[in-house]
Copies of this chain bind each other. A is one copy, B any other.
């Protein structure tokens, strides 16, 4: 076994692999070695596992420690086989690898992160996702498309190792794989920032691998629906974004509407992402640290909420080395009221994905990565967010499907959907053992519990109500919460009933109005929106012809119409124009919505509103979803 390569012209550093013997060593050549012993009179340097020699203390410029890498020249091969070595300092040299492979020059083999095994010594090439300085080592989170791994480099307690290496850099790391608190970690012996072609190659490899791994599975909707099929390209794009985020270790922040449809949406996606954590990144703690689902009290992404989300995300970036998150808006997020929040996230290059079925504003489109909304593909609100999110969940991780088959029916019931798909969803639920009444009870229980949870995701309680997680409580919990919800509605109706004023309008419709501030219980379930909705439902049953119901408080009102062709967004626009200083804003669907205004102008605003309602034509229209609660 000898080195058969042509000798390069310049200086050469030889590497001996483990198959080399003393026969492969030549006096005068420079070799890569490492210190394997320190004695008074010098250090022993190994050229491979079996060949070593002495560097005499008189030749050492600075102290060396066991494990240090050192380049040495072989001064003499003594008769007894001992080598006499001196340290050499080399620049601009070629490297030659000597050994079993017959002296061919070769790179050390690269191990994909997804194939790391404990205790292996490996070379990894990857992109740095984030850097975090601990009190001990510096932690680099690395990704190469096959997985992510934390890489620890230590130069001194709390001292930044490899300060030249930063987020986004392509690096080559040589080190050993160890286990830390149940997860693999790479202990770096060497970390080199790659440049030029090498770096590009790493990035291309990562990108290609991610593209491949992040590609959602090819699926058909769980119920036969062209409306769903039309949304599939958009849904696939969202699924791709979430899958890619998880594979690049980015946290996922989910904001959703705090009602049954919104909860169903959020939970479906949560189940899928958790499953992906198991499947794709094998991170057992990710569901606590890399995922955050929060109900929004307002029907849009308030500045206060986005500020909070951003604040926490940046703290995690700094303290825990998390990459910046992606944000997913569910059953919320399609309206112009969301734009300020999206622009705030944009200052941090945090991408936003929206899956919503509320009437979308054009303004949103350029601000988000992808926007899934039935209105954008010829559908309407009856295709609820929960239905869409079950499809999304399957595209994120198809194995979750079996637990979610009854969820679209719950979402639809929650939003009183009259979608053509509804019957198929109910049938699917029945096949899973949930009859329509049971589904309805689940939706009501979710609505009720969402109210009680306020800003908390209520992870397990909600899972138990939705029955998507193994539990023994669903059968008792759902009827109990349903009955609490019904009692609460009963209390509100008792208080409100005598105070609903009815007026017959010239257009033949009936206008019902209720002072919700004075004649309902406040700060309790159901709030003004749901209370007004229930009053309205009763009046619709009482009266032939159209009915419009308005529940008003000091600075807001809730509107619901049936059989009267009002257009609430248009009314808002008109009132804004006609009533300077009344501070009118709000909106919603055509016939379900709410207004806010300045309290001192309530009388004017309501009067103008009633006039516009009186001028609206009677129509024969399906009911729309219950509006949001403005308080």
Contacts and interface: CB of A to CB of B under 8 A. Distances in A.
A476 B315 CA distance: 19
B598 A518 contact: yes
Please tell me how many copies of the chain the complex holds: 3
A307 B134 contact: no
Interface stretch (A26-34, A142-150, A344-352, A566-574): A344-352
A314 B518 contact: no
B583 A135 contact: no
Interface stretch (A208-216, A396-404, A413-421, A491-499): A491-499
A521 B583 contact: yes
Contact of A39 (B39, B284, B454): B39
A521 B599 CA distance: 8
Interface string A496-536: 11110000000000000001011111100100000000000
Interface stretch (A176-184, A194-202, A237-245, A371-379): A176-184
Interface residues of A, number: 84
The dominant DSSP class at the A interface is: mixed
Given A135-B181, A598-B518, A499 B581 contact: yes
A381 to B, nearest CB: 28
A59 interface: no
A311 B461 contact: yes
B136 A517 contact: no
A207 interface: no
Contacts of A303: 452, 484, 525
Contacts of A453: 307-308, 311
Nearest to A308: B456
Nearest to A118: B157
Interface in A271-321: 282, 284-285, 288, 303-304, 307-308, 310-311, 314-315, 317-319
A452 B581 contact: no
Top 3 nearest A-B pairs (CB, nearest first) are A135-B182, A518-B600, A136-B182
Interface of A: 36-40, 44, 46, 52, 66, 133-137, 157-158, 179, 181-184, 282, 284-285, 288, 303-304, 307-308, 310-311, 314-315, 317-319, 340, 343-344, 346-349, 449, 452-454, 456, 458-461, 472-473, 476-477, 480-481, 484, 491, 494-499, 515, 517-522, 525, 555, 580-583, 596, 598-601
Given A40-B52, A133-B284, A344-B481, 12 more contacts: A37-B39, A158-B182, A308-B456, A311-B456, A311-B460, A318-B459, A318-B460, A344-B477, A494-B581, A519-B599, A519-B600, A522-B599
10 contacts: A37-B39, A40-B44, A136-B182, A303-B525, A311-B458, A315-B460, A347-B480, A348-B473, A491-B583, A495-B581
